[in-house]
Amino acid sequence: MRSKDKISYFYDGDVGNVYFGPNHPMKPHRLCMTHHLRPHKAYPVELAQFHSADYVEFLQRINPDTQHLFPEEMAKFKLGEDCPVFDDLFEFCQIYAGGTIDAARRLNNQLCDIAINWAGGLHHAKKCEASGFCYINDLVLGILELLKYHARVLYIDIDVHHGDGVEEAFYFTDRVMTVSFHKYGNMFFPGSGDVKEIGEREGKFYAINVPLKDGIDDTSFTRLFKTIITKVVETYQPGVIVLQCGADSLAGDRLGCFNLSIDGASLIMNWLMLNYLLLVTFELLLTGHAECVRIVKKFNLPLLVTGGGGYTKENVARCWTVETGVLLDTELANEIPDNDYIKYFAPECSLRIPSGHIENFNSKSYLGTIKMQVMENLRCIQHAPSVQMQEASSIKTNSSTRIIIVPPDFYIPDFDEDERNPDERADQHTQDKQIQRDDEYYEGDNDNDHNMEDV
């Protein structure tokens, strides 16, 4: 176990200033309530490492005053009601994507053990279109960055919605294993994520879906998560983990349907201490959304953590605050101290929320069947996939670093990122090139763009 983790936390106050429009459930203001490293604003060429050049260019030039002039493009790129055009849309995308890209780069350069970007985690965006409140898929961009240094990347998603954009991007490769725990069925968005969706070609069995029904509780979710993820890490042996912590899987979320608390362990322990009842073993108390973060952290692998969905904004802020504490090995008091947003947490002003009470349709037999199917798929993986590696002499580290073979024009600048001006960008970073096989990620049915560097 590492004696003390080095944590990088990315935040830009401007990310909370945009407004999706009246009655829209996405409230970027939730990020201001959570709150530091300030991320760079991702360049268009960086966004085009995954997204098509014409899509990135359209996001860059569209605004509320001109959108009516481009009805065909609006329809083509799926912009509209769920994904509206608003003021500073492109800058918003640049900020949250830049945070995840920078987080991946710090992990690659061994400048930290854990990197956090709560503004990221927009997992629905596709190569050529927006989807589910997501415009740019920062997770795919971050994973592509990590693949420059790591043979295998594990992506874990605990948002209530299926992580379809990330899964689709890497559906044909064994270099990335995607694992998504989500609500499935009854026309629930995005409609994908059946346990039978397992990847194709070289990616067969490297997409894992855990479809759940309404009302799953802390205990059932946490046990299932721990069992599956432990086996995944043992089998796949990733070099780095990306964890998407969508908070819409919490009880009481505006768009969610689960019963998860933020941190059932702390809630129950506080109750026991108040009532002088200490007869329950501590192992049984470890439940809730934050426990999933604890489980992943205990693997002691480089870890990139992002936010995601979450539409009851005060609970989103609570959740990611608690989970920041988990990543820092810091137990936070349940009373929220006075701050600029205290009115949103009234009247109780407590940090943790209890689990919900909607009916749980996840029977033991159903969860057992899902677990059995996932374990059977994992048994089909004979061994962890590998790629050719070589020593990287150009990277200054305390020990030798192993990276995927890269072309001679690839270069990482020799600098201390902790001392950089966060508002300036090293020119060489714009020269970073994506390292991929021909089948590295699925580019969608409309993939006919081969000029991504022309952005």
132 marked as part of a ligand binding site = yes
Which residues 6+ apart lie within 8 Å of 324 measured at CB?
9, 34, 116, 118
For the question of residue 383 being annotated catalytic, the response is no
Side by side, the strands of the sheet bearing 303-306 are: 7-9, 114-117, 303-306, 240-244, 153-157, 176-183, 207-212
Asked whether the beta carbons of 255 and 186 are under 8 A apart, the reply is no
Please, what is the Cα angle at 129 between 128 and 134, to 5 degrees?
A: 130
Q: Structure tokens of 103?
A: 């987080």
Strand 114-117 relative to strand 7-9, pairing = parallel
The answer to whether 157 is annotated as binding is no
Task: Determine if residue 165 is labeled as part of a ligand binding site.
Answer: no
End-to-end CA distance of the chain: 44
Taken in order 225, 231, 235, 240, the sign of the CA dihedral is positive
Buried b (16+ CB within 10 A) or exposed e, 274-300: eeeeeeeeeeebbbbbbbbbbbbbeee
Which tokens hold the place of 134? 């997501």
Q: How far apart, in whole angstroms, are the C-alpha atoms of residue 189 and residue 329?
A: 34
- The active-site residue, picked from 123, 124, 162, 289, is 124
- The number of residues in the chain equals 455
The partner residues of 207 in beta bridges, in order of sequence, read: 178
The amino acid at residue 212 is: L
Say if residue 161 carries a ligand binding annotation.
yes
Of the candidates 269, 231, 267, the one whose C-alpha atom is nearest the C-alpha of residue 250 is 267
Q: For the stretch 145-177, what's the b/e string if a residue is b when 16 or more beta carbons lie within 10 angstroms of its beta carbon?
A: bbbbbbbbbbbbbbbbbbbbbbbbbbbbbbbbb
Question: 449, 53 in Cβ contact below 8 A?
Answer: yes
Closest CA to 283 of 301, 306, 265, 309: 265
Q: Locate 391 and state its tokens.
A: 């020593």
Full 3-state SS string of 44-88: HHHHCCCCCHHHHHHHHHCCCCCHHHCHHHHHHCCCCCCCCCCCC
Residue ranges of the annotated binding site are: 82, 132, 159, 161, 248, 311
The binding site for substrate consists of 82, 132, 311
Residues annotated as catalytic are 124
